[in-house]
Structure 1
Amino acid sequence: MYKRKTIQESVRVPPEHLGENLEESVTEGLKAETEGNIDPEVGVVLAIEEVNSVEGGEIEPEDAGVHYDVEYSALVFEPELHEVVFGEVVDVTSFGAFIRIGPFDGLCHVSQVMDEYVNHDEENGMLVSEENQFTLEDGDVVTARIIAVSLGKEDTNKINLTMRQPGLGKEEWVEQYEEEQEAEDEEGEE
């Protein structure tokens, strides 16, 4: 989920920026050090919006830069367990589909793509269900739910997704499911 967060941390201002406007130097230091980085507590820092406060100014041994304690506002992307996300399929393999959600690619394992048995059509680069002949291929837009998140642990970032629940998957799958439910409801009323 995209969020605005207030973050407190230390930032290094390199020596070439000393003597310039402090807030601008700190902002540039923050951008260089944090934008695009993954923090298990915060998610991915996408953009520094505003520096709220700057304190300190310590010099560390063998470092010509100055370190400041700062509080700043940032736009972040933090995937949350059970969150429903929209994404685009960017790769289909025999073991599942990689779906781009924000700055991450999550894996929807072949067992989590749909309730039906799914085969990998390697020649056409798609997953195909046996019963309804539903397909999933690169470029498809889908709705999925996050079922596992592991960020910043041992330099690996993993997001696992599912599309097996009602209302998830490709739009055509959802529409067919809803039509089938309506037909069952009408039969039940007779």
Structure 2
Amino acid sequence: MYKLLTVKDIVRIPPKMFTVDPKEAAKIVLRETYEGIYDRDEGVVLSILDVREIGPGLIVPGDGATYHDVVFDVLVWKPEMHEVVEGEVVDVAPYGAFIRIGPVDGLVHISQLMDDYVVFDEKNKQFVGKETRRTLQLGDKVRARIIAVSIKSKVIRENKVGLTMRQPGLGKEDWIEKEKRKEAET
């Protein structure tokens, strides 16, 4: 889930940035410090949007930098259990498909791809449903539901998100469209 948050913190502006507008300097430092970091409570910090307020600088003896109280806006994304997400297949392996959902890749295990017996066609790098003949391959757009979230690190790529496409309204875009047409005909 994407969220806009307003955060208050203290930012250290080094002496080499004293010639830059303080708000702009704070924004640069905040981007270097926060963007791309995973916070357990809030999620992945995608972007520092704006520095709303910056207080007067405080100089600490022995450190030539100034320290400022700042209030700033951030855009974050946090995978929520049972959230429906849309993404693109970015990698396939014999055990499942990796789906890019925002700033992370989630895994749809082969058992969660569809309600059918699924075979991995290694030559063509795709999954094929035995009875339905549905295929899933690189570049396909899909809709999935988050069924597992394992957060172990501040580094985005080290965390894991498990997905399923075995529920009504989920799967590859053309599967969903065919189901809708089928329902409309009955």
The TM-score with structure 1 as length reference comes to 0.84
Deviation at 1:109, TM superposition (A): 0.9
Q: Which residue of 1 aligns with 2:66?
A: 66
Taking every aligned residue pair, what percent have the same amino acid on both sides? 48
CA distances 1:73-105 after superposition (whole Å, capped 9, x unpaired):
122222222111110000011110000111111
Counterparts of 1:75 and 1:96 in 2: how far apart (Å)?
30
Aligned to 2:171: 169
Deviation at 1:52, TM superposition (A): 2.1
Bigger CA drift: 173-182 or 67-76? Answer: 173-182
- RMSD between superposed Cα atoms in Å: 2.4
1:135 maps to 135
Match of 1:87 in 2: 87
Does 38-47 or 139-148 show the bigger shift? 38-47
Q: Which residue in 1 is equivalent to 2:110?
A: 110
> Structure 1 residue 2: deviation in Å?
2.4
Q: Answer yes or no: is the 8 Å Cα contact 1:120–1:127 preserved in 2.
A: yes
Q: Structure 2: how far apart are the matches of 1:154 and 1:3?
A: 18
Cα pair 2:2 2:77 within 8 Å, conserved: yes
| Aligned-residue offset at 1:179 | 5.1
Counterpart contact for 1:39–1:151, Cα < 8 Å: no
Show structure 2 runs of 5+ residues with no match. none
Instruction: Give SS of 1:173's match.
Output: helix
Alignment of 1:147-186 (within 5 A): 147-153=147-153, 155=155, 156-178=158-180, 186=186
Q: Which residue number in structure 2 is paired with residue 52 of structure 1?
A: 52
Q: Judging changes above 3 Å, is the alpha-carbon distance between structure 1 residues 152 and 8 closer, same or farther for their aligned structure 2 residues?
A: farther
**CA separation in 2, counterparts of 1:119 and 1:69?**
57
Are the structure 2 counterparts of residues 61 and 84 from structure 1 closer, same or farther at C-alpha, using a change threshold of 3 Å?
Answer: farther
Distance 2:160 2:105 in 1: 8
1:128-153 CA distance string (max 9 Å, x none)? 11111111100000001111223353
Structure 1 residues 17 and 126, CA gap change in structure 2 (3 angstroms): same
Residue 182 of structure 1, CA deviation: 5.9
CA contact (8 A) 2:38 2:153 kept: no
1:50-85 deviation line (CA, Å, top 9, x unaligned)? 112234645568754333332211222222221111
**AA aligned opposite 1:50:** D
How does the TM-score come out when normalised to structure 2? 0.86
Q: Which residue of 1 aligns with 2:76?
A: 76
> Structure 1 residues 53 and 82, CA, compared in 2 at 3 Å: closer, same or farther?
same
